[in-house]
Amino acid sequence: MKPLTIRGFKGMNNVLEEGGFSGHNDGTMTAIPRVILNADVTAEERLKKRGGYRLLASLPNAHSAWGTRHVLLAAAEGRLYRFYPDGSKVNLCAITGPYEEKLFYAAVDGLVYISSRHWMGILDPAQNTVSTWGIPIPEQPVLAVMNGTGALSGGRYQVCYTNVVGEQVGGNGMIAEIDILTDNSTISLLNKPSDAIAWATDPDGSTFYRAAYEKAEITDIDTMEPLPTFLCGPPNPMRFIRRAFGRLWGAVDSTLCYSEPYRYDLYKSTNMFSFPNDILLVAFVDGGIFVGFDDRTIFLPGTEPSGMREAHVGAGVARNILAYCNNMPDMGNNVPVWVSKDGLMAGGHSGALVKITKDRVQFPAGQEGAAVSRTVNGREQFLTSFKQERPRVSGVGFGDSATCEVVRNGKVL
């Protein structure tokens, strides 16, 4: 058999028929491998062996690794850990819920918001402390009327409490009602916490105004300051959290929730988009939000929730596989990339989808996994690992069936 002189290599392409060579006039060939293991193709069309990695730290059963330039976190056995470049780690806190439950992170204003389906917290990296996400809702007021001791006129009053942390007012608790039958009365607050604010309506009114803070009684209603957090409360545990458009977003089963503007601890029951199926992916771009389900991907255009209207844009997606990439050709920076049933997809800032693996790499639809983007030697890379349907006898957890054959039989079919 005549030997082949290979001039260079192109990137992996398992869509091509068997062969994978293109000829040149000088008799040399360019190889287009179906599978490349432990090597990369350089811009000069050469194969370069991948370097190895050293063990940073030992953490059995670790999952949910996440990091920024200054913070690296991971969970294991119901605990949250922070890692440092020298391999040391700090046990930050306990995490409620199943040990294997995936965590989601959002870096906001020097803090790290963290949430799973069962637990939420806020990490202050400067102090290595984890605090509660949101201001607790106080209990319902217990009220009594004292006649002839104040300036309240007759009528029906509604009263509620809010807690205060620093200068931030939390959401209100349950509302209590009381009838005053005679003028010049006072409402006594029998169970008011010392650090809570009492809010009350005018007689037979519906708008709540600040009524009492230091004292446990309401003698008059000052209508200059209405309750700014009416019907708000702290969030429920969410997945796919991210700050975008001045709000913090997250998914609870089939519901996409969003906070009040610039108050990431306050959510209303009406601040949501509800869908018929569980949400598997949420990706934000400059012009809106991609939301992925098992059977489809939709786009919510705009930056103000009240103006968003869903549009179908693509096929179903795999769970949890998302990373934001920079320097995407013709797409720019901070571009979300994920695995769908049509292959590897990139979401454009205007809502258009680009199939990255079109005519190059094909693989069975993924079920669940993880992804990360990184820069290596000035080149952007998207790395993903995911579960997928494959032959039961393969026993290999690699990405595509061709790779399974390489590992099992030592050859490319």
- Mean pLDDT lowest among 7-11, 142-146, 302-306: 7-11
What confidence category does residue 394 fall into, taking pLDDT thresholds of 50, 70 and 90? very low
What confidence category does residue 42 fall into, taking pLDDT thresholds of 50, 70 and 90? confident
pLDDT, one tens digit per residue, over 372-393 is 888 877 778 888 877 765 555 4
What confidence category does residue 322 fall into, taking pLDDT thresholds of 50, 70 and 90? very high
Query: CA nearest 219: which of 241, 198, 238?
Result: 198
Mean pLDDT of the chain: 88
User: Residue 228 above 90 pLDDT?
Assistant: yes
CB contact set of 83 (below 8 Å; sequence gap of 6+): 56, 57, 72, 73, 74, 89
Mean pLDDT score, 202-230: 94
Mean pLDDT score, 170-185: 96
Mean pLDDT score, 268-286: 95
Query: 0.85 exceeded by the pTM?
Result: no
CB contact set of 325 (below 8 Å; sequence gap of 6+): 335, 336, 337, 346, 373, 380, 382
- The amino acid occupying position 183 is D
pLDDT, one tens digit per residue, over 72-94 is 999 999 999 999 999 999 999 99
